[in-house]
Chain A
């Protein structure tokens, strides 16, 4: 694991400001979710962290060292990006070998075992892989890299449900075996929610929320029961979602549940449940 400190990072593409004074700390062996709508600045931030592009201002430090053009700092990070940076005529097994050269902790045996599990032929050329298998190839590289910081940018792009499930299980198993810093940037929040320990939500190039998932989930709760009682309970409260089926209704309330609310819920015979991360995300970023 490594600590990453992002300080006042700004980046503009022409007149479009992709990141505006972003400051956030990524510390310890945790699974971070980097969330945001399209164009929120997630990939820009990750690209700056991994030297693909440079910030206009601000700095990023990895374990106290500047990440900019620093081989030692970059050696601690493995970034699975949507872009494929390997020549199309290169074979999968050759990339495995090559990566081991740059990341001494790269587990070649594990990479081949994963390739077998995902049914990826190591003899295949990169250019011959479908979108799904390109994602598989890159996520295998990242999982096997054993880097202190593993970054997955849209890791399940083009993957079928079985492969997505396999990926989440492998990621969890890897993380439990050797805890490190994992950053997951994804739009499939519902699927990844169970894995995340902390979330960083970006909105229009700014950090909207950077706290543990538990804290985020405490900001809202779901109430369900008879329509009549639900409507009575919801009066004066900030409802961010409503679903009704016949006389049954379910709502998500965006505010903490006080003890008075608890009493009212009990009196009206309503059920309370934690809110879903995706609902909160949609509400926060709308």
Chain B
């Protein structure tokens, strides 16, 4: 327990805090750029139109990068300090949760501040009929948490892979594109199934009244399963130096 807390403290103070700062600066920059683009393409006349902020897109990418970039270097450092793999993962999850919470809260603050100058909403508000801040924060938190865990998953997958397997993984977007092209010749059935599945798990069973809490539940379950897979992948992983 002591080592878990110590690892968690080190994570939050040494790494996550810095990464969060960079993520937030990028998010603010992204929102400003989006405003400028909106303004320069005639948005000035539409000043009373509610602007949809691209904050979630930027934050989601950052959450994924955070998971992918910190997981293995910090794992090595944990080993150097006699921290077991299980303790490391147990400390990672609350740190990731704190990171996701900070990202979602900042999103709310950003939207609120933006609205003081120019009416704005977040993408979550557009997707789900949420009135209060809690629901928006919860949906975002679940999404960022999953994305960061998914980043960790990719990192451990790459770490465990040999040279050839890494190339196969790196070319994943290409494989996905090939599947889409092949699927197009079959009337897009795979894509339809995928969209149907996503609609179901993200709470869009009834399109007119989507349920955000189904999305929260689904994303949390995905994160939980991914964490379990990560643990199975790292429980006997040897230290590798690249």
Q: Chain A: residues with CB nearer than 8 A to chain B?
A: 47, 50-54, 69-71, 74-75, 77-79, 81, 83, 85-87, 94, 98-99, 101-103
Contacts and interface: CB of A to CB of B under 8 A. Distances in A.
B238 A53 contact: yes
Interface of B: 2-3, 6, 9-10, 14, 73, 76-77, 79-87, 235-236, 238-239, 241
Given A51-B84, A69-B86, A75-B82, A87 B3 contact: no
Nearest to A83: B241
Closest A-B pairs by Cβ, 6 of them: A74-B82, A85-B80, A102-B81, A52-B239, A53-B238, A69-B84
A69 B85 contact: yes
Nearest to A138: B80
B83 A70 contact: no
Contacts of A102: 3, 6, 10, 81-83
Contacts of A78: 82
A174 B103 CA distance: 47
A77 B82 CA distance: 7
B239 A83 contact: yes
B84 A70 contact: yes
Contacts of A71: 2-3, 82-84, 87
A54 B81 contact: no
Contact of A52 (B2, B83, B238): B238
A51 B3 contact: no
A258 B180 CA distance: 86
Given A54-B236, A54-B238, A71-B3, A99 B81 contact: yes
A47 B239 contact: yes
A86 B9 contact: no
Most buried by A among B73, B77, B80, B235: B80
Contacts of B10: 98, 101-102
16 contacts: A51-B85, A53-B239, A54-B236, A69-B84, A71-B82, A74-B83, A75-B3, A83-B239, A83-B241, A85-B80, A98-B14, A98-B77, A101-B10, A102-B81, A102-B82, A103-B81
A74 B6 CA distance: 14
A52 B3 contact: no
Contact of B82 (A50, A53, A54, A98): A50
A13 B98 CA distance: 40
A180 to B, nearest CB: 15
A101 B239 contact: no
Nearest to B4: A71
Contacts of B236: 54
Nearest to A78: B82
Contacts of B87: 71
B79 A85 contact: yes
A101 B86 contact: no
A75 B77 CA distance: 14
A74 B239 contact: no
Contacts of B9: 101
B77 A86 contact: yes
A200 to B, nearest CB: 22
Nearest to B87: A71
A75 B80 CA distance: 11
A81 B77 CA distance: 12
A222 to B, nearest CB: 42
Contacts of B84: 51, 69-71, 74
A82 B86 CA distance: 25
Contacts of A98: 10, 14, 77, 81
Contacts of B79: 50-52, 85
Contacts of B85: 51, 69
Contacts of B86: 69
Contacts of A47: 239
